[in-house]
Structure formats: C-alpha cells, structure tokens
Amino acid sequence: MNRLVVVSNRIAIPNGTKASAGGLAVGIMDALKTTGGMWFGWNGEINEIGEDDEEMNVFEQDNITYASFGLNQNDYDLYYLQFSNAVIWPAFHYRLDLVNFQREAWDVYCRVNRMLARRLLPLLKADDVLWIHDYHLLPFAAELRKLGVQNRIGFFLHIPFPTPEIFNALPPHKELLEMLCDYDLLGFQTESDRTAFLECLSFLTLMQSKGKKHTAFGKHFITGVYPIGIEPDSIKEMAEGPLPPKMAAMKKDLGDAKNIIACERLDYSKGLPERFLAYEALLENYPEHRGKIRFSQIAPTSRGDVQAYQDIRHQLETEAGRINGKYGTLGWTPLYYLNQHFERRLLMKIFRLTDIGLVTPLRDGMNLVAKEYVAAQDPRDPGVLVLSRFAGAANELTSALIVNPYDRDEVAAALNQAATMPLNERISRYKDMMAVLQKNDITHWRKTYLKDLLAIPARSQVLGEAGKVATLPRLA
C-alpha cells in the first residue's frame, strides 16, 4: 500500500503549543489517523536558523510520522505574513483592496517552497502519494518536479479560488497558474472554485479539456470538487453529556433568553463588523427581542502580526462597545465579544446550548463551524443555523436560513425568523442538514479525493526510454 505524505504550511504536532486551528488541521488529522503516514510542515515556531540549516524534528506517534521545522524571522515575515496572508489570502477572498504586493515577498514565497521541497525530498519513498494543502504551497509541486519527483502529487485548496477579474490582478498570476499545473489532481471545495480556476487558465493559455482532465502549458492534470466535511458522530459525542459547572450555572442564569452564537478566527473574511450591524438591526427592527436575546461572538486573534487583522480587531472592539452602550440596560448586556480561544470540546457544548448559530462570512472556502453547529444540536430541540450564501457550506446546507451578509436587514429578519421558529420546522431543517453531513462526512472527503489521486498513474510508472517522464496520454 502506498504511504500517504501530507504537507501543509502549519502542522498540528501532538501537545504542540502552536497547533493549527481550524478545518484544515482537523481534516488532515482524520485522514492520517485512518491511513497512517507522514505529516510535514511548519511547527509554528520562529527561530534563528539560516536558510540552509535543515533542522528537522522527526518523530512517530500512533502510526503518524511528524516532520516539522521552524521558520526564520525573514521567511515568517515574507513567506507567511506577506505573500501568503497579505497577498493570496485577501485576493482569494475577493479583497483586492487589502492586497499588499511586494516583489521581495513573492521571491521569498517561491524560495521557501523550494527549500521545503528540498527538505522533503530525502524523506520520500518511490511509491509515496503526496497530498499538499492550501494556498501557502501553490508552487510546491513545481519545485518537487524540478527535483525529479515522479510521485503522484495532489493539491487541495481549502479557501475559495477567485474569478479571473481578481486573480489576474495578482502580478505573478501567470507563474502561479503554470506552477499549479504541475499537480496531478487539483481539488476544490465547490464547483464555482473549480470553474474559476479553469476560467483563469483559459484566459491565459490554450487549455484542452476532456471532462475533468485537462492539458495546459504542456502539462496534464485533473480537477475535482471535494467539499470538506466533519465527523458528525464525534461532534455529537463532544456536545452531549453533563455541562461543566460554570456552564450549567450560566444556562440557569439565562433562563428563557434566546442565545445567538458565532465563533471563528478573527479574520476580515468572516464578516464580523457586518454581523454586529445586523444584530443591531435586529434590536432596532424587532424591539420585542430587547432584553430577551443575547449574542455571543467568540473570535480568537489570528495572524495578529498582519495590519489588516489588527485593524479589524480595533473596529470590533469599538462596535461591541457602541452597541452595548446604546441598547444595554443595567440587567442586560446584548452583545458578548470574547477575543479568546475556547477548547473545542467546550465549544461543541456551547453550540448545543444556543438557539441560533450565526455564520455569515463575506467569503469562505467551506466554513466547518456551520457544519459543526448543526452536528452539535440536540435532535429533539435543535437550534437554527443562519448561514451566508458566500460560504462554501451553503451549497450543501440548503435547509439553513441562507442570507446575504452584506444586507443587515435581511440578516436581522432571518435572526427574527430563527428566534421564533416553531419546533417542528427546526427539527425538519435539522434532519435535512444532518442527512447531508452524514453522507458528505470527513471520511467521504478523504476517500473520494484519494481514490481519484490514486487512479492517476504515477509519472514514474510511465517513464520514457531516455529515463525522462513521457508525455502521459491522459486525455485519451
């Protein structure tokens, strides 16, 4: 059996302090738990090692080999903060206004990808299957191919892929696209992302396609859509059971008040200021809820070294204070804004306790919080999900109340509808969504992706006579 080698920018090392949060880490961990294999990536630490000091920490636990390394300050600044998170992240989330392109950062982004490919090379076996994740590593396959790696290399993009109008504004758009074509399989969260990628390619070069098989820049590759899922049973298990004493006291204290919960990394793509304004519109347009509803926003700091993230943090602090000052009373605080990290198990219990899950990103690859909120509910008395139409999850969770996050009155109306929804309708919507979550769970995501990747012949199996990779007749 082929070994699975997963590469992501940041890896979740057991007991590591800088573990990756969010869907990517959960999804990868689930895949590796089942298949075993290797997880290669940054340990989240910044150290003083030079470019060529290949200081790696390799250890095995529960059938998974963790191979990790630190980044030096310059690479952290230019590869991670600058190019990955101040160019690609905003552009891929349709925020060209926040893109801060510097040619030096682009050079370092490419150099770090090259360096990581060189570091991975000695750890690779001939029949390993490589699965590379996310936007930090767009050039990774191209660098491995330059080193002669013939293995199957798949890529999965966890975030949206923008349309050509946005993508082509990136100065190195052509280079990025050509590098992406060195992957054997390119996986996207939604059909719109896959289509956007192909449109970008056809704008730029002659592309031949036959179904999901394509040739561009003389390279053959396959594209597919694999919406990432969750483990509904394990979420349910975390959400059930006795409440910790503090939470039980809080529940008692809340009495009949309706509770709205929102939780995500503090990121401008998540639409937090717009959401605060929508909650204000609820209090304004439906005054009957005043004193009887509460909105808790959990938003731990993320990428706090990037200016745009510092700006949004200040904006939220101001808005939360303003709304509480305007509507609060001596006995009632309308909005709780918690700039803190919550342990996952506790979070699932909080989701179960609350009446409304409010998930309104302005743009999101998938958004697993939406899925987790549904899976955490009590089937006999489920809460209601209010979900942005711009989250990838809206393609699957069609029984949520789907809203446009830019329209605060529409979101307020959906919150009112959720707060007053009869039990039978809540149960029916919940059942529809659970059926989808069970079917498209995380195992389904991993299996369908890896099945497609393994179906592609490894380049080493079709070597040409001169020992060079033959042109694969994959379009036939």
From residue 136, how far is each of 141, 174, 191, 213, 390 by CA, in Å? 12, 17, 22, 25, 22
Among 30, 75, 128, 134, binds ligand F6P (CB under 6 A): 134
Number of Cα atoms under 13 Å in the Cβ half of residue 260? 34
Note whether 40 and 67 are within 8 A (CB). Answer: yes
- Does position 364 interact with ligand F6P (CB under 6 A)? The reply is no
Phi, psi of 260 (to 5 degrees): -110, 135
Q: Which residue is nearest to ligand F6P (CB)?
A: 22
Secondary element (H or E) of residue 131: strand 129-133
In sign, the C-alpha dihedral spanning 120, 60, 63, 237 is negative
Shortest distance, position 265 Cβ to ligand F6P, whole Å = 6
Shortest distance, position 66 Cβ to ligand F6P, whole Å = 16
- Is 159 or 401 the residue whose CB approaches ligand F6P more closely? 159
Among 16, 22, 224, 300, binds ligand F6P (CB under 6 A): 22
From residue 23, how far is each of 29, 131, 368, 372, 414 by CA, in Å? 10, 16, 6, 10, 26
Shortest distance, position 244 Cβ to ligand F6P, whole Å = 25
From residue 245, how far is each of 236, 241, 297 by CA, in Å? 20, 12, 21
- Does position 145 interact with ligand F6P (CB under 6 A)? The reply is no
Q: Encoding tokens for residue 274?
A: 């717009």
Shortest distance, position 115 Cβ to ligand F6P, whole Å = 18
Q: Encoding tokens for residue 137?
A: 């590593």
Q: Encoding tokens for residue 421?
A: 């929804």
- Does position 215 interact with ligand F6P (CB under 6 A)? The reply is no
- Does position 95 interact with ligand F6P (CB under 6 A)? The reply is no
Among 93, 158, 219, 220, binds ligand F6P (CB under 6 A): 158
- Does position 258 interact with ligand F6P (CB under 6 A)? The reply is no
CA nearest 265: which of 320, 233, 302, 212? 302
Hunting for tokens 């717009």 — which residue is that?
274
Among 24, 359, 387, 415, binds ligand F6P (CB under 6 A): 24
- Does position 159 interact with ligand F6P (CB under 6 A)? The reply is yes
Ranges of H-type helices in 286-343:
307-327
Shortest distance, position 134 Cβ to ligand F6P, whole Å = 5
- Is 11 or 281 the residue whose CB approaches ligand F6P more closely? 11
- Is 23 or 90 the residue whose CB approaches ligand F6P more closely? 23
Q: How many residues bind ligand F6P (CB under 6 A)?
A: 12
| Residue 379: alpha-carbon gap to chain centroid | 27
Residues marked active site are found at: 158, 364
Ranges of H-type helices in 205-244:
232-239
Please choose, out of 22-30, 63-71, 188-196, 428-436, the segment that lies near ligand F6P by the rule CB under 6 A: 22-30
For the chain, the residue count is 476
| Contact set for ligand F6P, span 272-311 (CB under 6 A) | 302-303
Please choose, out of 16-24, 62-70, 268-276, 379-387, the segment that lies near ligand F6P by the rule CB under 6 A: 16-24
- Does position 10 interact with ligand F6P (CB under 6 A)? The reply is yes
Shortest distance, position 159 Cβ to ligand F6P, whole Å = 5
| Interface residue list for ligand F6P (CB under 6 A) | 10, 20-24, 134, 158-159, 265, 302-303
